[in-house]
Amino acid sequence: MYEIINKKKRGLPLSADEINHVVQGFTTGHVPDYQISALLMAIYFNEMNPAETAALTMAMANSGDRVDLSMLNDKTIDKHSTGGVGDKTTLVVAPIAAAAGLTVAKMSGRGLGHTGGTIDKLESIPGFRVHLSGQEFLEQLAQHGLCIAGQSTNLAPADKKIYALRDATATVDSIPLIAASVMSKKIAAGAKHILLDVKTGSGAFMKEKQDAETLAKTMVEIGQNCGRKTAAIITDMSAPLGRAIGNSLEVVESVQLLQSDKCADPRLDALCRTLAAHMLSLAGVGSMVECEAKVNHAISSGAALKKLADIVEVQGGDRSYIENPEKFKPAAHIIPYPSPQTGYIYAMDTEGIGLAAMALGAGRINPGGNIDHSAGILLHAKTGDYIREGQPLATFHTGSVGKADAAIAKFMASIRFEDVAPQQCPLVYGAIF
């Protein structure tokens, strides 16, 4: 390990054997964390070339269980978002893609900090079971073409150990380490096709577009080098995605989108349709025009909504909450908040708004913390909207009225008003194949 650390300290590339030695040794406890910490800092400053990054990805993917989907069809696909505020696209896109003929194998995580987690959203549905055995996961995919489950505790365990050290040593924001972390879990999850939704903007981990592009290119290159057909879409997170922020609130908004004409946010609707069409195209279903038509039909026919309800039922949840989303229990305290002034909403600090929702109880600070599934924020106006003083700006949902004052203050500190309209950011900045 001393020689490996010294080599990377001097900016030299590590071989696949050296990287395997590091990952296996740390996973089994034979390499101490202080040496891994030193190596992580050397990687942070000297980076890794594509071969090193691919080797690290595969070493972490091979550190635990690997899901074998070879007995299924050749249309298996996984979709991953780098995270943001109000990002409920998996709840919409996965059933659309499955209704259009793909096999969507999705292992999702929980939210932490200002970003939400798909598993937390689904657990707001009474009875929904996220922990499935490997056999249950495969059988559900074979029968229904869709499964959204929590990540296996032994899926890329090296990544979990390394990420904990990255978090403690200020090396989280290293593009090779981020890319290897994401892709190790995607490779271990077994899908033949991987679509990446890489966010950029004030609510994303990659605040700058150039950094998002670099991360996207790195992850796509890893996927291709590891034998997976991979593409990335770079999308905007300069404002919350959709009108709802918070777990059950986001499930309701997702259902409304799948009810064809009830989505209140055209950018959320457009992004979900775009991502679903790219999933179909990536899997070889047809041209983009043909794939877009299939996506529109899956929504308009009700097939995607039925698919979501079916999956909820198969995983132990009450499907009536999908068929009648008004059944979700509201928060104990619902506080409307009017606009304090007249003007355009010129910009939003999206991360700040996510932290405001977390303060209401919708998110967790620590991985094992509790959340209030009914807590969150409903936005009545977003970036670019003109609003008059006294008109509804947002509604705050919380189980504790004592949490509301700090959350509202954080929210208002994240909103910038101006007399002129802002230039709207593109919804999609580009695609990388």
Spot the catalytic one: 181, 184, 281, 339. 181
pLDDT number for residue 151: 80
Residue 152 clears pLDDT 80, i.e. is over it = no
Instruction: Compute the average pLDDT of residues 137-162.
Output: 92
- Tell me, what amino acid is at 287? S
Cite the beta strand spans of 299-342 per DSSP E: 333-338
Give the C-alpha separation, 432 to 323, whole Å. 36
Instruction: Give pLDDT, residue 261.
Output: 66
Q: Which CATH number fits domain 331-418: 3.90.1170.30, 1.10.1240.10, 3.30.530.20, 3.60.90.10?
A: 3.90.1170.30
Instruction: Verify whether residue 21 is a known catalytic residue.
Output: no
What pLDDT, on the 0 to 100 scale, is given for residue 113?
64
CATH of domain 2-46: 1.20.970.10
- Cβ contacts of residue 420 below 8 Å, gap of 6+? 344, 346
pLDDT digits (tens, 9 = 90+) for 48-102: 999 999 999 999 999 999 999 999 989 999 999 998 899 999 999 999 999 999 9
Query: Of these residues, 88, 114, 121, 166, which one is catalytic?
Result: 166
Structure tokens at 252: 């309701």
Residue 176 in this model has a pLDDT that exceeds 70: yes
Catalytic: 30?
no
H helix runs in 123-225, sequence order: 134-144, 157-168, 175-189, 209-225
Confidence band for 263, pLDDT divided at 50, 70 and 90: confident
- In this predicted structure, the answer to whether residue 192 has a pLDDT above a threshold of 90 is yes
| CATH topology match: 76-153+166-323 vs 331-418 | no
Short-list 167, 139, 66, 65, CA closest to 311: 139
Q: In what order do the strands lie in the sheet with 343-348?
A: 386-387, 343-348, 415-418
Q: Which of 7-21, 101-115, 151-165 has the lowest mean pLDDT?
A: 101-115
Q: Is 159 a catalytic residue?
A: yes
- CA dihedral 338→252→121→69, nearest 10 degrees, is -150
Q: For residue 228, indicate whether it is catalytic.
A: no
Convert the pLDDT of each residue in 3-14 to its tens digit.
Answer: 999 999 999 999
Mean pLDDT of the chain: 94
The catalytic residue among 8, 185, 199, 273 is 185
Q: Is the pLDDT of residue 112 over 70?
A: no
Kindly state the average pLDDT of the residues 220-237. Answer: 95
Helix spans in 62-156 (H): 89-99, 118-122, 134-144
pLDDT tens string 23-41: 999 999 999 999 999 999 9
Q: What is the mean pLDDT of residues 190-204?
A: 96
What is the topology classification, in CATH, of domain 76-153+166-323? Pyrimidine Nucleoside Phosphorylase; Chain A, domain 2 (3.40.1030)
- Return the DSSP state at 170: T
Q: Within 10 A of 128 (CB to CB), how many other CB atoms are there? A: 21
pTM of the model: 0.94
Is 287 a residue of the active site? no
Domain boundaries, the chain: 2-46, 76-153+166-323, 331-418
Q: Looking at 153-157, 178-182, 213-217, 356-360, which range is the least confident one?
A: 153-157
Which residues on adjacent β-strands are paired with residue 80? 196
User: Which residue among 8, 75, 80, 319 is the active-site one?
Assistant: 80
Q: Which of 28-37, 56-65, 162-171, 267-276 has the lowest mean pLDDT?
A: 162-171
Strand pairing category for 415-418 and 343-348:
antiparallel
